[in-house]
Structure formats: structure tokens, C-alpha cells
């Protein structure tokens, strides 16, 4: 059976996303096939066609990276952020107010990419991810906050199909069903009060609360997180910090499209 146009486009975007997630290191054919679930012969054929278009380039060691043509194409797209300095100021101010670690993240297809981190004054820091790191949706508080704009059934289907999410969950020796149940609970929190809170979700001993940054032109694609060790975020303090988190997220709206 000949694949439909939709399935071809889906395969191409899945392959490009898999290559992009590997960054400068590049991705092997085997890596791409395992991550996307696409048969290796099909991956190889699509990669060859993308190389001819300049969207993929082959590194030494038979690894594939994004091609220069994609960079040129991207220059024509409007930036989702028009005031990065304003976002940085707001994040630093929130970190100063709370004394804890603040993250700003942006959605990247089926993952969330961490743009910046601001440190508070509390000496024990909860640095669960590094700036520039990309992790699957549903693994950290920011990703869960962004998933809240989708129906629960669609979220579960999406996460079950996300091989990186499943590998991350298994790697942390967590049960997939329990993790999905936790994600559903936290999504319900965002819908009810505008933010989610939990402990030990992203890392044992670490608590976090996250809110989507509202967009005036689309569904939220960025999120704001406060992260701290468990002792720093008891329920009473979460109630105190929630207004600060939500207000800062609203302030950041003027900095994005």
C-alpha cells in the first residue's frame, strides 16, 4: 500500500526531529529508526532525499545532522520571542523573590527545550536540567504544564507513542502506568488553578511548580517553573508562591508572540 501524503510528511518530521534532538553529535541510522519506529530502509531512503534537498548532512562516522538549508529556511520564520531580555529579567526577579531556581522552557515538537535558568539565594539548589537541554514532554513540570492544553486521552496517546518519554521513564525505574496517572493529575491541576505542583516527579527529592506562559496568538508553547528541594516547597509555601509564579508568567506574555 502506497503511504498517504500525511504519513510521508509525518515520517519526514519525525526523522528531522530525531536528528535535531541529537544536536552537534549527530544521529546514527539505527538511533533514528529506534526513536521514530520507522523501518531502517525507509529511514535511509528519506535521509537520502533530505540530503539531496540540503536539509540533512552526513557527518563522519555515518552520523546525520541537520543541513544548512534548514537554517536558511528557519531565518524566514518569525521568532516566537521578541524580547528575550525581558523574559530574563522577569525570571531573575522571580528567583530573587523566591530564593529558588527558576526555569523558562519552550516546546519543541514532542519535547521541551530549556532556554534559561535563574538562581535564587537559597544555598541548596534543585538543578534538575541544564540550560540547552531538551527532554520529552511529560518528564518535567514545564512539559506537563504545556500538555494541559490537550485533552487527557490525546495526551496519553501522545506520550505512549513517544519513545523517548518511555525510555526516560524506564531509565528512572518508574512504572509507565503510574507515571501517566501522575501526568493526568498534574494536568488537572493546571486546568483548575493555572499551575501544577508535585514532588519527586522530575527527580527524587525535588519539588516543582510550573505554569504555562500565555500566548496572545496561539496555545501556550512556553512554561515557567520554580524548582526546589522538597523541604522548601511544603503546601503552605506553594500557596504563597503560586500568585508570584502566575503573575510572572502573565508578565512574560508581552515578550512573546
Predicted local confidence at residue 36, as pLDDT: 85
- Taking the C-alpha atoms of residue 22 and residue 201, their distance in angstroms, rounded to an integer, is 24
Write down which residue in 25, 51, 75 finishes a domain: 75
Element spanning 111, H or E: strand 111-118
120 and 231 co-located in one domain: yes
Cβ atoms 225, 140 nearer than 8 A: yes
- The rounded average pLDDT for each run of 10 residues, N- to C-terminus, in the chain (257 residues) is 63 90 85 89 96 94 92 87 96 98 91 94 91 87 91 75 67 71 90 94 90 91 97 96 98 95
Query: Cell 534532538 sits at which residue?
Result: 21
Q: Which residues pair with 197 in a beta bridge?
A: 209
The reported pLDDT for the residue numbered 74 is: 86
Could you tell me how far CA 112 lies from the centroid of its own chain?
Answer: 1
Alpha carbon 24 to its chain centroid, in Å, reads: 19
Same domain flag for 184 and 105: yes
pLDDT of residue 164: 67
Judge if 47 and 150 occupy the same domain.
no
Last residue of a domain, one of 75, 104, 133: 75
- Check whether residue 221 and residue 128 sit in a common domain: yes
Regarding whether 57 and 31 lie in a shared domain, the answer is: yes
The CATH code of the domain that includes 35 is 1.10.10.10
Are both 110 and 12 inside the same structural domain?
no
* Residue 35 host element (H or E): helix 29-36
Q: Which domain holds residue 48?
A: 5-75
Count of structural domains within the chain? 2
Residues 23 and 100 in one domain: no
For cell 508572540, the residue is 257
In the three-class reduction of DSSP (H, G, I as helix; E, B as strand; rest coil), residue 207 is classed as strand
Rounded Cα distance, 121 and 97, in Å? 9
Among 198, 253, 200, which residue's Cα sits nearest to residue 223?
A: 253
Same domain, 221 and 178: yes
List the CATH number of the domain containing 240: 3.30.450.40
pLDDT at residue 193, as a whole number: 96
State whether 38 and 153 are in the same domain: no
Q: Examine the domain organization and report whether 71 and 88 are in the same domain.
A: no
What the block records as the C-alpha cell of 216 is: 496572545
Amino acid at each position: 500500500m502506497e503511504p498517504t501524503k500525511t504519513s510521508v510528511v509525518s515520517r519526514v518530521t519525525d526523522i528531522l526531529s530525531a536528528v535535531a534532538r541529537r544536536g552537534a553529535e549527530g544521529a546514527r541510522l539505527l538511533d533514528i529508526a529506534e526513536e521514530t519506529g520507522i523501518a531502517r530502509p525507509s529511514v535511509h531512503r528519506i535521509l537520502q532525499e533530505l540530503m539531496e534537498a540540503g536539509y540533512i548532512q552526513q557527518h563522519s562516522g555515518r552520523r546525520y545532522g541537520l543541513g544548512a538549508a534548514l537554517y536558511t529556511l528557519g531565518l524566514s520564520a518569525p521568532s516566537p520571542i521578541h524580547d528575550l531580555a525581558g523574559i530574563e529579567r522577569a525570571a531573575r526577579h522571580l528567583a530573587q523573590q523566591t530564593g529558588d531556581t527558576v526555569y523558562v522552557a519552550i516546546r519543541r515538537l514532542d519535547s521541551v527545550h530549556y532556554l534559561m535558568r535563574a538562581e535564587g539565594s537559597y544555598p541548596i539548589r534543585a538543578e534538575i536540567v541544564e540550560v540547552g537541554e531538551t527532554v520529552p514532554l511529560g518528564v518535567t513540570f514545564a512539559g506537563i504544564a504545556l500538555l494541559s492544553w490537550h485533552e487527557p486521552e490525546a495526551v496519553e496517546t501522545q506520550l505512549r507513542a513517544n519513545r523517548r518519554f518511555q525510555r526516560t521513564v524506564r531509565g528512572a525505574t518508574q512504572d509507565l502506568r503510574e507515571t501517566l496517572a501522575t501526568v493526568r493529575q498534574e494536568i488537572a491541576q493546571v486546568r483548575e488553578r493555572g499551575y501544577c505542583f508535585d514532588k519527586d516527579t522530575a527527580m527524587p527529592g525535588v519539588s516543582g511548580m510550573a505554569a504555562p506562559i500565555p500566548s496572545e496568538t496561539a496555545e501556550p508553547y512556553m512554561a515557567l517553573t520554580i524548582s526546589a528541594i522538597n523541604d522548601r516547597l511544603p503546601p503552605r509555601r506553594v500557596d504563597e508562591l503560586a500568585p508570584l509564579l502566575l503573575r510572572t508568567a502573565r508578565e512574560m506574555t508581552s515578550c512573546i508572540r
